[in-house]
Amino acid sequence: MRVAFLSNYFNHHQKPVSDALMSGTAQYTFISTQKLDVERKALGWTSDTDVPYVCTADGTAEYAVLRQSDVVIVGSAPEALAQWAARRCKLLFRYSERPLKDGNPPAKFLPRFLKWHYHNPPWRKTYMLCASAFTAGDYAKFGLFRGRCYKWGYFPETVRYPDVNALIDRKEKATILWCGRYLDWKHPDDVIEVARRLRDAGCCFRIEMIGSGEMEPRLRQLASEAGLLDTSIQFLGAMSPEDVRRHMEKAGIYLFTSDRQEGWGAVLNEAMNSGCAVVAGDAAGATPFLVQDGTNGSVYHSGDVQELYEKVRRLLDDPSTQREFGSAAYRTITGLWNAETAAERFLQLSQALLDGRDATKLFADGPCSPASLLREDWYRK
């Protein structure tokens, strides 16, 4: 089976699943159509154009690869190229986060609706790899991909520690970590407010903020005005993915505060893989797939700072629950939501669809299992 992955750029989030597909039974090529932007480079993202299975689009090479491919995955890529591939390959998957990130009703997207239907006609059995728990529901509102959506996501590198119990024992139970770009829809300001409430309640804690972005001056001001800057809250700047992992391995608690505009949020995978007890907003794309509230982490209603505070306070007051959640989170990633499992299952799914078999019964949960139409208010306390 020849598989091609067509997307905008190759980065450290794409590499693990690409490596796994390459080492499987498929002949695999990643087609990169553009270069990394400056902001992501500042966050330590790298583009490995020397990786042997990466083909950089130049107007010729990409067509040669697509012409020979049995299965094509289309992410963020020029639509003309995607349509060219769709007319020639045996099986096409779209790979998408949720399209209705800003919450506007579907009627607001009428031009896009018409374009999507034109590019994905019902007679062409195109399937959807959902890089958000809300992808299937959003597209269903447009009558697209019903019954043809499968769970997917982003699969950063999975670290398998020789002794996960030792990793969790070494964690600083009073250290809370947040990581990402300082953007309004990631709500780093909620972390400052939680810190203020924890301080006022007499809690012992330290919050580390990793990242950069337009909100940083305002965040520093808020922390300073609350008397938290450089005492209870430290701004550590942007870091490489490797350095971020080191801080995750140390932190007992990880806060994932993004709202519905977060298509996925690979930092959640990484924090869970690092054995953190995560507190995750219910509106972010990765949360419903990865976090089972009260089992391998905590979920709160996105934007509800009081609920976020209560969940964090509970973990600070109960280190044994931190340990329980961290261990279960680690098992979730290493046992199910990882690149190796995703790649193996994807090849099985593709073969079943190529053979005309019912693929909905292959997997009950995790990557390549059927994606349901998730309601926005899916989370209940």
C-alpha 147 chain-centroid distance: 22
299 and 230 inside one domain: yes
Amino acid identity, position 317: D
How many helices and strands in the chain, by DSSP H and E?
A: 15, 13
- Whether residue 361 is contained in a domain is answered as no
CA distances from 323 to 63, 130, 160, 266, 312 (A): 50, 31, 17, 22, 14
Q: Is 237 left (phi over 0), alpha (psi -120 to 50) or beta?
A: left
Query: Which of 191, 217, 216, 215 has the alpha carbon at shortest distance from 205?
Result: 191
Burial 267-291 (b: 16+ CB within 10 A, else e): bbbbbbbbbbbbbbbbbbbbbbbbb
CA distances from 253 to 278, 294, 305, 308, 322 (A): 6, 14, 16, 12, 7
pLDDT(377) > 60: yes
121 and 206 inside one domain: no
Q: Tens digits of per-residue pLDDT, 193-202?
A: 999 999 999 9
- Whether residue 367 is contained in a domain is answered as no
61 and 93 inside one domain: yes
Number of domain units in the chain: 2
96 and 113 inside one domain: yes
CA 159 to CA 334: how far, in whole Å? Answer: 8
Give the per-residue pLDDT at 43. Answer: 55
Global confidence as pTM: 0.93
Two structure tokens written together for 132: 């958000």
| Helix ranges (DSSP H) in 201-304 | 216-225, 241-250, 266-273, 287-290
Which of the residue ranges 33-42, 47-56, 60-69, 249-258 would you say has the lowest mean pLDDT?
33-42
Mean pLDDT confidence for 361-366:
98
pLDDT(204) > 70: yes
Q: Band of the pLDDT at 217, cuts 50, 70, 90?
A: very high
- Whether residue 249 is contained in a domain is answered as yes
Range of the domain at 292: 164-335
| Helix ranges (DSSP H) in the chain | 15-23, 38-42, 61-68, 79-86, 110-119, 135-140, 164-170, 188-200, 216-225, 241-250, 266-273, 287-290, 305-317, 319-335, 339-354
140 φ, ψ (degrees, to nearest 5): -65, -30
Domain harbouring 46, CATH code: 3.40.50.2000
Q: Band of the pLDDT at 7, cuts 50, 70, 90?
A: very high
- Whether residue 319 is contained in a domain is answered as yes
Burial 250-262 (b: 16+ CB within 10 A, else e): bbbbbbbbbbbbb
Amino acid identity, position 19: D
CA 48 to CA 67: how far, in whole Å? Answer: 24
CA 288 to CA 69: how far, in whole Å? Answer: 33
140 and 9 inside one domain: yes
116 and 192 inside one domain: no
Q: Tens digits of per-residue pLDDT, 79-110?
A: 999 999 999 999 999 999 999 998 877 777 77
- Whether residue 380 is contained in a domain is answered as no
- Whether residue 137 is contained in a domain is answered as yes
